[in-house]
């Protein structure tokens, strides 16, 4: 009988062409599938909760797969021995047969890390941005995003979604030593949305626009007005949220 399992992973996205499997490209999901198939000696299809872009990192992401055999006790150890150093399997656990790591997720939390000083230790793990910023304007723009709104202006054009409405529960900037960190939690995210929000807010923080201008960009539903330039290296999928009942076997 097939059983469904969730895999919790973390990874640095630097050497990968994104998360999702791509033909002849090195991806996080591709490396995980390869390791699973070698260890379990069976071709498996994994489904992911969040398809992060090239260079984007994750402190927590999930996949699920179905398997009829017995999972060896050493599976996590074996997988981590085979996987690149940038990918770590943290947990594998059985869930209800109808549990779905993507569709059952209720919220996701992302962080974007901006480095205010050049440092070798955060190269490809943050966005070096040395310009003078107004923290009050940044915070005001972040607060303007909270609620249920149409985020068409902050979505890339080539995206397969039925609508652009998202509900943002948390949106804030915090200064931690020389790092400026944006945290955003929502029920769903559009393609390129976090980076576009960050880039446009940073333009506001530099004095190139005010809060009213930022709110107008949000209202106009025109992605040509937003700034999508922040690189993927500063973005982290921090947490995928699920209802507690998901982990109760039926």
* 53 among known catalytic residues: yes
**pLDDT at residue 160 greater than cutoff 80:** no
Angle between the 193-205 and 211-220 helix axes, to the nearest 10 degrees?
150
Pair 68, 7 in one domain = yes
Residue that is written with structure tokens 């000696």 in the block: 41
Q: Which ranges of 109-192 does DSSP label H, i.e. alpha helix?
A: 135-144
Of the residues 53, 66, 150, 210, only one is catalytic, namely 53
Say which residues have a Cβ less than 8 Å from residue 200's Cβ, sequence separation at least 6: 141, 154, 214, 217, 226, 227
Number of domains in the chain: 2
Maximum pairwise Cα distance, the chain:
61
Please report, for the domain that includes residue 43, its CATH number: 3.30.70.580
Q: What is the CATH number of the domain that holds 184?
A: 3.30.70.660
Of 104, 120, 136, the position where a domain reaches its end is: 104
Which residues span the domain enclosing 123? Answer: 107-238
Nearest to residue 58, comparing CAs of 32, 36, 25, 77?
32
pTM of the model: 0.94
20-62 pLDDT per residue, tens = 988 889 999 999 999 999 999 999 999 999 989 999 999 999 9
pLDDT tens-place string over residues 165-199: 999 999 999 999 999 999 999 999 999 999 999 99
Instruction: Indicate the helix (H) or strand (E) that contains 62.
Output: strand 57-67
Report how far apart, in Å, the C-alpha atoms of 246 and of each of 26, 50, 74 are: 31, 17, 25
């Amino acid at each position: 009988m097939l059983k469904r399992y969730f895999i919790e992973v973390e990874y640095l996205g630097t050497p990968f062409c994104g998360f999702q499997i791509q033909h002849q490209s090195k991806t996080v999901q591709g490396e995980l599938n390869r390791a699973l198939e070698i260890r379990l000696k069976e071709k498996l299809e994994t489904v992911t909760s969040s398809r992060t872009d090239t260079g984007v990192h994750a402190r927590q992401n999930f996949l699920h797969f179905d398997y009829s055999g017995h999972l060896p006790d050493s599976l996590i150890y074996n997988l981590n021995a085979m996987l690149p150093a940038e990918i770590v399997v943290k947990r594998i656990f059985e869930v209800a047969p109808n549990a779905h790591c993507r569709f059952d997720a209720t919220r996701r939390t992302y962080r974007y890390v901006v480095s205010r000083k050049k440092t070798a230790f955060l190269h490809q793990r943050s966005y070096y941005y040395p310009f003078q910023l107004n923290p009050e304007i940044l915070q005001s723009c972040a607060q303007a995003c909270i609620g249920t709104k149409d985020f068409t202006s902050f979505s890339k054009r080539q995206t397969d979604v039925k609508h652009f409405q998202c509900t943002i529960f948390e949106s804030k900037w915090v200064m931690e030593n020389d790092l400026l960190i944006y945290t955003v939690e929502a029920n769903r995210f559009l393609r390129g949305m976090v980076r576009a929000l960050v880039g446009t807010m940073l333009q506001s923080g530099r004095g190139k626009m005010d809060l009213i201008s930022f709110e107008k960009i949000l209202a106009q539903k025109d992605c040509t007005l937003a700034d999508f330039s922040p690189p993927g290296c500063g973005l982290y999928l921090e947490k995928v949220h699920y209802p507690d009942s998901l982990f109760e076997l039926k």
